[in-house]
Amino acid sequence: MGASITLNRYLDDWAKTSDTRPTAEVVRAIAGAGKVISGLIAQGQLAGPLGMIVGNNSDGDQQKELDCLANAQLIDTLKASPVAFIASEELGQPIATGKPDAPLCVAIDPLDGSSNIDTNVSVGTIFSILPRSEEANGSANLHFFQPGSKQLGAGYIIYGPHTALVLTLGEGTHIFTLDPGDGQFKLTKANVQVPAQTREFAINASNYRHWDKVIRSYIDECLEGTEGHRGKDFNTRWIASMVAECHRILMRGGIFLYPGDDRLGYGKGRLRLIYEGNPVAFLMEQAGGSAITGKMRILDVVPSDIHQRVPLIFGSSEEVALLQGNHDTKRSTGHRSPLFSRRGLFRT
């Protein structure tokens, strides 16, 4: 596959049956909305006060003007596609599209990383496509309480120096770059592979004192570099925009951590399972990477709340496995692993 294959052509080739066509239609709809959002973001302040705080969502997060515009744009577009229910991070409850028999349900984070809107740093739209659940019995939420392993498709659109749509339909993870010349998304990287090993980690280190011992020890060992147990130097990055971190990790490897911590309301971290954890986990696994809570695979978690948070660790498979091993050791022995006998760099 080369740069001339458009997203439309890719979807036409993929969706040969009546089972797959609705998913392709939804991806087309999201790509269409993404182009409008991309155009707005590219205008920056010329498009008005996009970063202005206009309220709070049901979970207490600040809502910016662009969060609301992106949400409205995506919902309008999705209502015209084969979708029965839409769940959005910006809405308290899922909305019915008026097509109860449509085969799909879609969860969206309309604008991830919105604290970066005014700083001209990459932000993104994240989406997760699920089959409508036959067991929901009229409850909109139950359609979304399926584990991430049931997703039919997932991805994000990153609005950065260029705009790109990163997609998985369960057959690898592919990157389509928006060509500003003709407004088409074009395949620029097929079957992305996340390197299994890495020397780069991303975590908001200002929360160090709030983490549990497993996370602290892991970060201590990365910081000890060649002088420590790991025997190699690590680099650190934190953009505070998960799509941008995810994109970097897809391109060159790395590990991202937003663990639970002991701040009020952060026991399960900050990120949402349905809107952020599941789609990113699907993309990572399809690219040879991994995504875990620390205790288990993200895609096996069964949601029980529409805005449920989840501790999220994803990226290069060997690095994620090492951290999973540290959690397992702590659980099985009930004691500190040998890692904890080391003196942390941040400790006195």
We find the least distance from the C-beta atom of residue 109 to ligand F6P, in angstroms, to be 7
CA 19 – CA 168 distance, rounded (Å): 16
**Amino acid found at 188:** T
| Torsion sign, CA atoms 109, 113, 118, 121 | negative
We find the least distance from the C-beta atom of residue 177 to ligand F6P, in angstroms, to be 21
CA 144 – CA 128 distance, rounded (Å): 10
Between 184 and 241, CB nearer to ligand F6P: 241
Would you say 96 and 87 are in contact if contact means Cβ atoms under 8 Å apart? Answer: no
We find the least distance from the C-beta atom of residue 203 to ligand F6P, in angstroms, to be 9
339 binds ligand F6P (CB under 6 A): no
307 binds ligand F6P (CB under 6 A): no
Between 10 and 282, CB nearer to ligand F6P: 282
The count of chain residues that interact with ligand F6P, using the rule CB under 6 A, is 10
We find the least distance from the C-beta atom of residue 271 to ligand F6P, in angstroms, to be 5
| Distant-in-sequence, close-in-space partners of 341: CB < 8 Å, separation ≥ 6 | none
240 binds ligand F6P (CB under 6 A): yes
We find the least distance from the C-beta atom of residue 115 to ligand F6P, in angstroms, to be 6
Give the residue nearest to ligand F6P (CB).
Answer: 242
CA 211 – CA 298 distance, rounded (Å): 20
We find the least distance from the C-beta atom of residue 244 to ligand F6P, in angstroms, to be 8
Helix (H, G, I), strand (E, B) or coil at 78: helix
Other CB atoms within 10 Å distance of the CB of residue 317: 22
Pick from 63, 198, 217, 241 the residue near ligand F6P by CB under 6 A.
241
Between 10 and 201, CB nearer to ligand F6P: 201
From the list 96, 101, 83, 100, the residue with the least C-alpha distance to 26 is: 83
We find the least distance from the C-beta atom of residue 85 to ligand F6P, in angstroms, to be 22
205 binds ligand F6P (CB under 6 A): no
Would you say 174 and 10 are in contact if contact means Cβ atoms under 8 Å apart? Answer: yes
What torsion do the CA atoms of 271, 89, 186, 197 make, to the nearest 10 degrees? 10
1 binds ligand F6P (CB under 6 A): no
Would you say 278 and 151 are in contact if contact means Cβ atoms under 8 Å apart? Answer: yes
CA 72 – CA 136 distance, rounded (Å): 26
Residues 285-304 that bind ligand F6P (CB under 6 A): none
CA 241 – CA 132 distance, rounded (Å): 30
Between 218 and 258, CB nearer to ligand F6P: 258
For every residue of 207-236, DSSP letters joined together read GGGGS-HHHHHHHHHHHHGGGSTT-S--EE
We find the least distance from the C-beta atom of residue 270 to ligand F6P, in angstroms, to be 5
Binding mask of the shown chain, residues 95 to 134, with x at each position contacting ligand F6P by CB under 6 A: -----------------xx-x-------------------
Pick from 41, 107, 242, 250 the residue near ligand F6P by CB under 6 A.
242
The residues that touch ligand F6P, with contacts defined as CB under 6 A, are 112-113, 115, 204, 240-242, 270-271, 276
